[in-house]
Amino acid sequence: MKKTLMVAALTGVFATAAHAQSSVTLYGLIDAGITYANNSGGHSLWKATSGTVNGSRWGLRGSEDLGGGLKAIFTLENGFNIMNGTSGQSGRMFGRQAFVGLASDQYGAVTLGRQYDSVVDYVAPLSNTGTQYGGTIAAHPFDNDNLNNSVRFNNTVKYTSINYAGFKFGGTYSFSNSTEFANNRAYSFGASYSWGGLNVAAGYLQLNNDMNNAAVFSSASAGAQTGEWTFLAGRQRTFGGGINYTFGPATAGFVYTQTNLSDAAGGGISGTQSGTGTATTGGIGFNANSARFQNFEGNVRYALTPALSLAGAYTYTRANIGGGVNPNYNTVALQSDYALSKRTDVYLQGDWQHVSSNPENIGAYLNGLGSASTRQDQVAVTVGMRHRF
């Protein structure tokens, strides 16, 4: 009798667990490698890296069918460094994404929480830096257009449409959560269209923030942008678009983005600045109230075999940081990737950047290496592996 009761109890437990698992998925990706850079702050660098191409993460996503084509959805996603086990995104538990909402088969989805902007959602997939074919080091200088997700936004309400015969659109609004309603808020919108092998997309992102507001530096603050920042400027406007076409095993594309900054005098760039805004070796600050970055990226991806893929991108970036300082950045990223299985692959990636038209001798800066080069060139080579679960 006791055994029968025990079996019945265990059966009930496992039935409940199975029911719960049917709507909740545990997933993740681990990206680990070794990177060599020829000049980082004036010295060669060997570095054990996490997330060179795709940020290491684990997460939970789930849904509940509410009937009538409506369901509740959620995603909780943690970013971490596989080399030391620490959380990314300023130490947040779910720093990559954290949202809940409703999704309708007829009207699209509305979600609330910490989320990506529309430039990331729509334009980034057409750029090598925003995909598995380029990643962090291949980002446009300083990730000036946020295609590599340097900044994610708190307090965000997002709308995502359904797919209308290949056409999708959406937008976000990120609250400041402050009585200063317009300070430290952000909003964005974008759209994409796919037909056969053709994909086109466009997006716009605006950030409003008092550049002297210490909330940008603290992840504990209330605003839309806290603890993570690219530029110290009163206003940032980023817009862009892209196109790619797939024919057989090859995909070729072009992406253009532009970032305009205002109220920028005295500000700087996070990748080459300390937390107080003081320039480090090779760093740059803005010499006028306005600054601009324009990126022109051409990219190609080719599946040589079902297991072996090749990818490459060239980006020409024109920068104007005021005071007649107009450096031009030439960035090349090349990658070969071999799939050992459906979930595990190894890759070799090389990145090179050269700065020209450079009156102040600004050093090259490949994203994620830690320090700018003391010369106009910087090279990085990474060998790594990725595992998905």
270-309 tens-digit pLDDT: 765 433 333 333 457 788 889 999 999 999 999 999 999 9
Mean pLDDT of the chain: 89
Structural domain including 193 reads 25-388
- Per-residue pLDDT of 73-129, as tens digits, reads 999 999 999 999 999 998 999 999 999 999 999 999 999 999 999 999 999 999 999
Residue 345 lies in a domain: yes
- Per-residue pLDDT of 223-252, as tens digits, reads 999 888 888 888 999 999 999 999 999 999
Task: Find the CATH number of the domain harbouring 243.
Answer: 2.40.160.10
Question: Above 90 in pLDDT, residue 357?
Answer: no
The values of phi and psi at residue 123, to 5°, are: -90, -40
Residue 11's pLDDT is 44
Residue 5 lies in a domain: no
Residue 9 lies in a domain: no
Q: Give exposure, 312-330, as e/b (b: 16+ Cβ within 10 Å).
A: bbbbebebbbbeebebebb
Residue 10 lies in a domain: no
Q: Give exposure, 120-142, as e/b (b: 16+ Cβ within 10 Å).
A: bbbbbbbbbbbbbbbbbbbbbbb
In the chain, the percentage of residues whose pLDDT exceeds 70 is: 88
Residue with tokens 């892209």: 242
- The DSSP bridge pattern shows strands 344-356 and 24-40 to be unpaired
Q: How far is CA 384 from CA 13, 82, 135, 168, 307, in A?
A: 41, 12, 12, 34, 16
Residue 331 lies in a domain: yes
Residue 365 lies in a domain: yes
Between 32 and 231, name the one with better pLDDT: 32
Residue 4 lies in a domain: no
What's the average model confidence in pLDDT over 19-46?
88
Amino acid identity for residue 340 in this structure: L
Residue 221's pLDDT is 79
What's the average model confidence in pLDDT over 205-213?
78
Domain count, the chain: 1
Residue 17 lies in a domain: no
Residue 282's pLDDT is 44
Query: Contact at 8 Å (CB) between 203 and 122?
Result: yes
Token pair for 389: 């679960």
Question: Above 90 in pLDDT, residue 211?
Answer: no
Residue 368's pLDDT is 87
Question: Above 50 in pLDDT, residue 20?
Answer: no
Nearest 5°: the CA angle 359, 360, 366 is: 105
Question: Whole-model pTM?
Answer: 0.88
Residue 14's pLDDT is 43
